[in-house]
Structure 1
């Protein structure tokens, strides 16, 4: 049975002659919403950390160089490791890490390269603050690297 083109029962225009009045835009939005809701309910195995490190006066760049000196490729389970300058605090850095699991992060602390970087950085660190643990869901750059 043909239905006239025009507004459907939901008030959206049908774009295909003979379309039984399916509101495609609404259907797609609902489908995407259901998919996102399911994804949000799935536990993420990823483990994230965001933290602020304050360098001793005048040592922010030297500290950043140490933090950036080792290769993430040699850090099993590390999906992202970002060091950024705080634009409003001259001696502060923000470090954002994403790991495939909390266990991988903990294991990394015993790696020789990490232990050596920590020992070199320690004299340049005035303090840590604003540490937040997160459960990353994904994002640009993570999907290609996420294991499993």
Structure 2
């Protein structure tokens, strides 16, 4: 069953675009690890927040991806730009009218 991870990352003032740049770099390893969908977004209403929506083949695939060197590198690069305030939720996807 598909696993969803949806979250927000609070950035240091003025660092939102730098975090977006890190998170949106091409990373073919994510697809190889089981990532089906990875979208990064922003909202003018929250100028220091980055939104991330991920779909994975499984919760285990998502967890394993956190050990990939490319992912660990991106996390290490982004951490100094974040406040440490993160929020979100995870769930098993029940279905979609867009897929069989």
Which residue of 97, 111, 116 corresponds with 2:54?
97
Which residue of 51, 54, 67 corresponds with 1:110?
67
**Structure holding more strand per residue:** 2
Q: Structure 2: where are the runs of 5+ without partners?
A: none
Cα–Cα, structure 1 residues 139 and 52, in superposed 2: closer, same or farther, change >3 Å?
farther
**What is the CA RMSD across the aligned residues, in angstroms?**
1.6
CA distance in 1, matches of 2:13, 2:25: 21
Which residue of 74, 86, 93 corresponds with 2:29?
74
CA distance in 2, matches of 1:108, 1:114: 7
Cα–Cα, structure 1 residues 139 and 91, in superposed 2: closer, same or farther, change >3 Å?
farther
Q: Determine which structure has more spread, i.e. the larger CA radius of gyration.
A: 1
CA distance in 1, matches of 2:25, 2:82: 16
CA distance in 2, matches of 1:138, 1:53: 26
Instruction: State the Cα deviation string for residues 87-129 of structure 1 (Å, max 9, x = none).
Output: 3111111100000000100110000000000000000011333
Greater RCO (CA < 8 Å, at least 6 residues apart): 2
| Aligned position for 2:15 | 59
Cα–Cα, structure 1 residues 52 and 77, in superposed 2: closer, same or farther, change >3 Å?
same
TM-score, normalised relative to structure 1: 0.61
Contact kept in structure 2, 1:54 and 1:126, CA below 8 Å? yes
Aligned length: 97
